[in-house]
Amino acid sequence: MLTVHQIDTRNKKDVRRFIQIPFRLYAHCPQWVPPLFVDAEMQLNRTKHPFYEHSDADFFIATRDGRDVGRIAALENRRYNEYHHTRQAQFYLFDCEDDPEAANALFERVFEWARARGLNRVVGPKGFGALDGYGILVEGFEHRQVMTMMNYNYPYYARLIESLGFTKEVDFVSCYLGKDFHLPERVHRIAERVAKRGNLRVVRFQNKRELVAWADRIGQAYNRAFVNNWEYYPLTEREIKFILDNILMIADPRLIKVIAHDDDVVGFLFGFADVSAALQRARGHLFPFGLFDILLEMRRTKWIALNGAGILPEFQGIGGNALLYSEMDKTVRTPGFHFEHGDLTQVAETATQMRQDLMNVGAKPYKNHRVYARVI
């Protein structure tokens, strides 16, 4: 017998059941990277996560004969809907066995939840914020996910979702750079010309203290850089702080690239040493050894993830992107770094300028995450 019930997010046992489902589903999957329990629990914490200050979410588990076989989250991002004049719900954290009946029952609960709130469309997977990643993986299943900046799923997920009437909304493509990659010389030449003009300058960070001093300005630029992106909505101050705190926690300051006009941040490019291997070994636990292993992995990993590149709209088209890429390229080739592989993480197909930039520097698409939508 199949049942679906809504969990009580105040009940630690319910929360842990919800979080544990993908750990069982992907226990023997070498490409899946488990989240840290502390991060997964934060998404369900209505008092601590900034999303709940303006919006709402509920969480459902499908159980067959006493065994949990799937889960899903239903979200209403009111700030997004207000900004875009829409009435859409989001689904997120969908994980399920290859069981069409269970998948259908989970999504029916999301549809009921959305209709009860006067919403007329369901889009997803789309999470609580910019750090959650977007979409169902539809290409590139042989590759390990990069930390938890994107999702990994089995190939049958797309079939389950499409069978329920969902169609493509937007694709997020990730690109690969190999160890033989060299940034085209013309990009360096453009960057040199931009630097000589003096309108834009690179801000370099050697330690966390220097980075923290610029954090607020980076956050404000982050909130303004993506106004033309499909996924954009104006973040609250608490959401900006939440993003920055998470970035500062895992960032090597040398890999955070910022360009400034006078003393204002007008562009940025975030690089992260990929600690996926350590996260797999940690199996969700920071202690007693997970944190130490993650710190070691930051020094020895051969992968870098480039995520969160942006230029304020009024400063686009004057070489700022070339300045960022040139600066990052020079940094990762300095002694002390051992990167041989790069992942340019999840660029929306609607971000035409960024997609063109990636093609210009020779990046090769190798993963595709698809966001789906359905009218209800």
> Residue by residue, what is the 3-state secondary structure of the chain?
CEEEEECCCCCHHHHHHHHHHHHHHCCCCCCCCCCCHHHHHHHCCCCCCHHHHCCEEEEEEEEECCEEEEEEEEEECHHHHHHHCCCEEEEEEEEECCCHHHHHHHHHHHHHHHHHCCCCEEEECECCCHHHCECEEEECCCCCCCCCCCCCCCCHHHHHHHCCCCEEEEEEEEEEECCCCCCCHHHHHHHHHHHHHCCCEEECCCCHHHHHHHHHHHHHHHHHHCCCCCCCCCCCHHHHHHHHHHHHHHCCHHHEEEEEECCEEEEEEEEEECCHHHHHHHCCCCCCCHHHHHHHHHHHCCEEEEEEEEECHHHCCCCHHHHHHHHHHHHHCCCCCCCCEEEEEEEECCCHHHHHHHHHCCCEEEEEEEEEEEEC
Question: Which amino acid belongs to residue 137?
Answer: L
CA distance 279 to 256: 22
> Which option is the CATH number for 2-171: 3.90.79.10, 3.40.50.300, 3.40.630.30, 1.10.3720.10?
3.40.630.30
pLDDT by residue, tens only, the chain of 376 residues: 999 999 999 999 999 999 999 999 999 999 999 999 999 999 999 999 999 999 999 999 999 999 999 999 999 999 999 999 999 999 999 999 999 999 999 999 999 999 999 999 999 999 998 788 899 999 999 999 987 778 999 999 999 999 999 999 999 999 898 877 888 888 899 999 988 887 888 999 988 899 889 988 988 888 888 877 788 888 998 998 898 888 888 889 999 999 999 889 999 999 999 999 999 999 999 888 888 999 999 989 999 998 878 888 888 888 888 899 899 999 988 888 889 999 988 887 766 666 666 666 677 889 999 999 999 9
Sign for the CA dihedral angle at 297, 298, 303, 309 comes to positive
CA 45, chain centre distance (Å):
19
Nearest of 252, 236, 265 to residue 130 by alpha carbon: 236
The bridge status of strand 303-311 relative to strand 341-348 is parallel
pLDDT at 250: 82
CA distance 307 to 291: 22
* Residue 21, both tokens: 């489902």
CA distance 109 to 98: 18
Which CATH architecture group holds 177-368? 3-Layer(aba) Sandwich (3.40)
- Contact criterion met (CB below 8 Å) for 75 and 129: no
Domain boundaries, the chain: 2-171, 177-368
Nearest of 280, 333, 324 to residue 306 by alpha carbon: 324
pLDDT at 262: 87
* Residue 277, both tokens: 């291997």
pLDDT at 163: 97
* Residue 359, both tokens: 């093609």
Residue the block writes with tokens 């369901």: 122
CA distance 104 to 96: 10
pLDDT at 361: 66
CA distance 209 to 366: 36
The bridge status of strand 121-124 relative to strand 88-96 is parallel
**Beta bridge pairs of residue 106:** none
**Up-side HSE of residue 261: CA atoms within 13 Å toward CB?**
13
CA 75, chain centre distance (Å):
17
